[in-house]
Amino acid sequence: MLIKLKISKKVFNDSYLSFLNLVTRVQIFFGGSSSGKSYFLAQRCVLDVAQGGHNYLCTRKVARTIRASIYNEVVKAINHFKLTNYFNINKSDMVITCANGYQILFAGLDDVEKIKSITPQKGVITDIWVEEATETERTDVKQLQKRLRGLSKVKKRLILSFNPILQTHWIYQEYFGNWDDSKNLYQDDELSILRTTYRDNKFLTEDDRAALKNESDPYFKAVYTDGRWGILGAVIFRNWRVEDCSEIRKVADKFKNGLDFGYGGDPAAAAHTYHDKARKRIYILDELYQKGLTNDLLAEEIKKMIRKQYITCDSAEPKSIQELKNFGVNALAAKKGKDSINFGIQWLQRQEIIIDISCTNTKNEFQQYKWKEDKNGNALQEPVDKFNHIVDALRYAYESEMTGSKDSLWSW
């Protein structure tokens, strides 16, 4: 079956047009935020599959983050192209099948068994798209590349998209050897790299642009405004590492949970943690990190994570706390004393913080939460108000521990 596509160039951002039919084996799309990377790759995925010959595997590090991001983007692209009649969208299994038999499949890299066994109904996987690829380890992507075996009519591709958060990342080491930072494009027979920024996205509103243009912190400006590989100066936490906490989970008995409210611009962020007090270790076992949740939905998510345990919440929203209680969450209000941010940070700096591999947003925050700097690059005593949602949640969770308060509450 041949699907006739008539699509105007106008629906794409110009910087990406020459990539519509590019067949290089490894393709990297990186750059600043809101530069149209995800949108374009979702568009291209849908068009490739509709034209036939391509089966896509769309991935991210953590399976449960896929639905709200890459899956949503792809479904949106199908709708925008008005191709809904040609695609069968199985929402519960997240399997999208085109009328021509080719498919778009989704799996998290943490779901090793699924990744190994996932196969399209017709032909083989031809394209693997790793969204937010800085979340991954080198071995994750090496494993994935094994899935690009087998014969196909079209050339196979590995596609990585991300914000270039840290120059120490394996992706930089592996693929950016020949990259010239004064240019926005690199191309050889095996590898293509495109850098885009908000300036490449004609669909943004003036407000979106202004927020990025006016960024004052040098690190955030480099990474998120200009799409340059970040070099972090005054990072706040170095006392953390990422581990698989499944063994600890079995013996963990005392939990501390915290919640920072958020809705539109910022996500609601909650941390479910185990405190090994004797060793001064905090294990972050589970996270919630989601925008757009009304309090009823937020309550459901929190209960899934901590059931009847207590959770200490940002006291700035007493109404939300009361609503969470009405929805069955054992919510408490943080007290937040004078100078509680710096006090809390100093206390957390003295713990050993172990982040479970599933908590990619927590890791992302710990990597990028930083002190403000003066124009000479000297760290100031005040954190930049970014990448602090989980950290705030932790400060609330451990508030009673920090102050040695008698009414310290433990949850079992």
Kindly tell me which of 87 and 198 has the beta carbon lying closer to ligand ATP.
198
Choice from 5, 11, 17, 409 touching ligand ATP (CB under 6 A): 11
| Cβ proximity of 395 and 271 under 8 Å | no
Contact call for residue 35 and ligand ATP (CB under 6 A) = yes
What are phi and psi for residue 26, nearest 5 degrees?
Answer: -115, 125
> Binds 11, which of Mg ion, ligand ATP, none (CB < 5 to 8 A, cut-off by type)?
ligand ATP
Look-up of token digits 């930083």 = 370
Q: Does 204 bind ligand ATP (CB under 6 A)?
A: yes
For Mg ion, give the closer residue by CB, 212 or 284. 212
Of the pair 46, 245, the CB lying nearest Mg ion is at 46
Residue 201 binding result from Mg ion, ligand ATP, none, given CB thresholds of 5 to 8 Å by partner type: ligand ATP
Q: For residue 214, count CB atoms less than 10 angstroms from its CB and return exposed for 0-12, middle for 13-18, buried for 19 or more.
A: exposed
Q: Which is nearer to ligand ATP, 37 or 169 (CB)?
A: 37
Per CB under 6 A, the segment of 9-17, 346-354, 373-381, 390-398 that binds ligand ATP is 9-17
User: Based on CB atoms, which residue is closest to Mg ion, 38 or 196?
Assistant: 38
**What is the closest distance, in whole angstroms, from the C-beta atom of residue 76 to ligand ATP in the complex?**
9
Distance CA 275, CA 395 (A): 13
Query: Do 310 and 302 contact (CB within 8 A), yes or no?
Result: no
Taking CB under 6 A as the binding criterion, the range among 11-19, 230-238, 245-253, 267-275 that sits at the site for ligand ATP is 11-19
DSSP for 326-337, please give it. HTT-EEEE----
Q: How far is the CB of 195 from ligand ATP (least distance, A)?
A: 11
Q: Does the footprint of Mg ion cover residue 38 (CB under 5 A)?
A: yes
Residue with Cβ nearer Mg ion (38 or 136):
38
Contacts of 164 (CB under 8 A, 6+ apart): 30, 31, 134, 172, 223, 227, 228, 229, 230
Site string for Mg ion, 132-171 (x = CB under 5 A): ----------------------------------------
Q: Please check whether residue 222 is in contact with residue 368, taking contact to mean a CB–CB distance below 8 angstroms.
A: no
Beta strand segments in 185-324, E:
185-187, 191-196, 240-243, 255-260, 268-276, 281-290, 310-313
Stretch 310-329 residues interacting with ligand ATP (CB under 6 A): none
Whether the CB-CB separation of 16 and 196 falls below 8 Å is answered with yes
**Exposed, middle or buried by CB within 10 Å (0-12, 13-18, 19+), for 284?**
buried
Q: Report the distance separating Cα 325 and Cα 311, nearest Å.
A: 10
Question: From the list 15, 19, 28, 39, which residue makes contact with ligand ATP (rule: CB under 6 A)?
Answer: 39
Choose the stretch contacting Mg ion; rule: CB under 5 A; options: 36-44, 45-53, 136-144, 389-397.
Answer: 36-44
Q: Which residues contact 56 (CB under 8 A, 6 or more apart)?
A: 45, 48, 49, 103, 104, 105, 125, 126, 127, 128, 129
Helix residue ranges per DSSP H, 26-181: 37-51, 72-80, 112-117, 138-145, 170-175
- Measured CA to CA, the distance from residue 279 to residue 223 in angstroms comes to 36
Tell me the window of 197-205, 233-241, 304-312, 362-370 that interacts with ligand ATP (CB under 6 A).
Answer: 197-205
Cβ at position 258, least distance to Mg ion in Å: 27
Q: Which of 27, 28, 37, 261 touches ligand ATP by CB under 6 A?
A: 37
Judged by CB under 6 A, the number of residues near ligand ATP is 14
Interface residues toward ligand ATP, by CB under 6 A? 11-13, 33-39, 163, 201, 203-204
